[in-house]
A and B are shown apart, each in its own frame.
Chain A
Amino acid sequence: MATHRIPIIGWSAIPDTSGNCFPEGYDVKATNDVWDRLVMVFNDTSTRIGFHGGFTVPKNYVGNAKLAVVWTTTATSGDVEWDFDYRAVGGDDAESLDQSGTQESVNLNDTAPSAAHERMETLITLTSSNFAADDEVEYLFVRDGTDAGDTIAAATMLFELLFEYTDA
């Protein structure tokens, strides 16, 4: 049994309509401006803001499903509240891709880096039995400004969103 991670921000990723979550060149908030790649920005608001996306569960999926979040911010105090809402849809002509509600909504609170721009990585445990190989997973990844635990007074930047699992 081995552990794998796959990136899940793909071509289907699209920000919500808030205007407070958006892709941006890292040089806008960085100081050194050496690596001008795109990151997903989540402004500091009092609302839930995020982006939608989708991915396919790999063929060798067995269990231990987790979500790895790689992020940073310019702030060095406070916490961020990450939410991950999703539904895994399986089969061929068996289940609707257009269902109401979520299959699971999970959240995690992570503390700001000890120095601005340090790489942060946190893991959110998912319900493994919700996933099966080849499922299409629809998701919404959110910074939850309505949660009292979201106290970082600055934008947060998402570098990677990864689906972690074990194979046989």
Chain B
Amino acid sequence: MATQRIPILSFASRAENSANNAQLSKFDVSATNDQWDRLVYLFPDDGSNDTRLFGGFVVPKNFVGSPVIGWCWTTGVIAGSVSWEIGYLDVTGDDAESLDQNTIRQTDQQLIVVAGTAFNRLEDTASFTASNFAVDDEIHVYIRRRTNTDALDTAAGPAILFNMFFQYSDS
């Protein structure tokens, strides 16, 4: 048995369709050194609105168990916390289950203290129920910064998302 990780930000990734949302941005807009001008997602410090990013992926053929959704992120500020929430829905089969359901299978909320040094890489993970996932399932997923709904989200600057991944064990 080995642990695997696959990236899950893809063509399906999209900021929430609302006035205040996660924003696709070049890293140099936030960074100081401007060496790596790649794209990242910004989750602003917006006390009036949570900010959210949607996506989708397929459970790999060699999935056995121990499902984890993780995210790699940073901030330019060095004080406060960011309140994250991950949610997902698994959809299985061929002509058996709707992709358009008013359901969230599971969520996980985590309050994370920002790094003591600006732009240090942070990695956090949320573990979920293995029996909810099956090989070839289509997974709808979101990551939300709870700037409005959690008063403990106190980092006074954007959270910068670099990657999301699905971690699991194979046989």
Please list the residues of chain A having a beta carbon within 8 angstroms of any beta carbon in chain B.
Answer: 2-5, 7, 9-10, 13, 23, 25-27, 30-32, 34-40, 68, 70, 72, 113-122, 159-160, 162, 164
Contact = CB atoms under 8 A, between A and B. Distances in A.
6 smallest A-B Cβ distances: which pairs? A117-B100, A35-B140, A32-B102, A37-B54, A30-B100, A121-B94
B60 A34 contact: no
A95 B13 CA distance: 34
A5 B11 contact: no
A34 B102 contact: yes
Interface residues of B, number: 34
8 contacts: A9-B10, A30-B99, A30-B100, A36-B16, A117-B98, A119-B95, A120-B95, A121-B94
B92 interface: yes
A162 B137 CA distance: 12
A68 B61 CA distance: 12
Given A37-B140, A159-B99, A160-B58, A119 B13 contact: no
B103 interface: yes
B95 A31 contact: no
A37 B96 CA distance: 21
A70 B58 contact: yes
A10 B12 CA distance: 10
Nearest to A4: B61
A37 B103 contact: no
B120 interface: no
Contacts of A115: 98
A118 B14 CA distance: 21
Contact of B61 (A5, A25, A26): A5
Interface in B25-70: 54-58, 60-62
Among A2, A38, A164, chain B packs the most CB atoms within 10 A around the CB of: A38
A118 B12 contact: no
Nearest to B56: A37
B106 to A, nearest CB: 13
B85 interface: no
Contacts of A119: 91-99, 138
Contact of B11 (A31, A38, A114): A38
Interface string B155-169: 000000000000000
A118 B136 contact: no
Contact of A37 (B12, B62, B98, B136): B12
